Amino acid sequence: MKIQLLALPFLFLIACGGSEPAKESKKPAAAAKTEAAPKKEAPAPKPAPEPETPVVVDDGTVVTINLTANDAMQFNTAEIKIAAGRTVKLNLKHVGKMPAEMMGHNFVLLAQGTDLNAFSAAGVTAPKSDYIAKAMADKVIAKTKLLGGGQSDSIEFKAPAAGTYDFLCTFPGHSAIMKGKLIVS
């Protein structure tokens, strides 16, 4: 008797175990079919590798800098190298989805000798001027607007004299990560 009682649930498990994989096996088959169909169209998404756009593009006349910023508080580069005296066109695109009030991003290029941390800290109380303190506005060589997700801005400026310059996002707290060097040679 004892053996039979123990065996019953065991058989029940086998029965259930046997039927479940049968159901599941149909699902992967169906999924495989739906996956197989888009594979034929795969060449379409392939030619759109936006991240592969070079950060700096020099066409001989204008040096274009393609910057992106995302919802993870990251610029796509921490170092930009350009030549002195060149005309620079900088495109900043916020590739995230969060609004500017929560995850605002801008590009602000600082004059040499400016304390990045002090500049950033002073701007916290200046939301109306994109978190750039009026008292420090003269330290700005170039800046974009403060952007929210999906927005972009383009600015033009003349590359400053040879040297290394700090750039940052002035949104409160961001410059700890969102900063980099513009190296002019």
Residues in contact with Zn ion by CB under 5 A are: 105, 169, 171, 174, 178
Which spans in 41-115 are helix H?
100-103
The closest alpha carbon to 136, from 103, 113, 154, 161, belongs to 113
Our CB check for Zn ion shows the closer of 63 and 103 to be 103
For the bound state, the minimum distance from the C-beta of residue 74 to Zn ion, rounded and expressed in Å, comes to: 9
Our CB check for Zn ion shows the closer of 86 and 99 to be 99
Q: Which residue has the tokens 């699902």?
A: 27
For the bound state, the minimum distance from the C-beta of residue 90 to Zn ion, rounded and expressed in Å, comes to: 15
**Residue facing Zn ion at closest CB distance:** 169
Our CB check for Zn ion shows the closer of 93 and 105 to be 105
For the bound state, the minimum distance from the C-beta of residue 121 to Zn ion, rounded and expressed in Å, comes to: 15
Number of residues assigned to the chain:
185
Decide if 136 contacts 113 (C-beta within 8 A): no
Instruction: Tell me how far apart the alpha carbons of residues 105 and 45 are, in angstroms, rounded to a whole number.
Output: 28
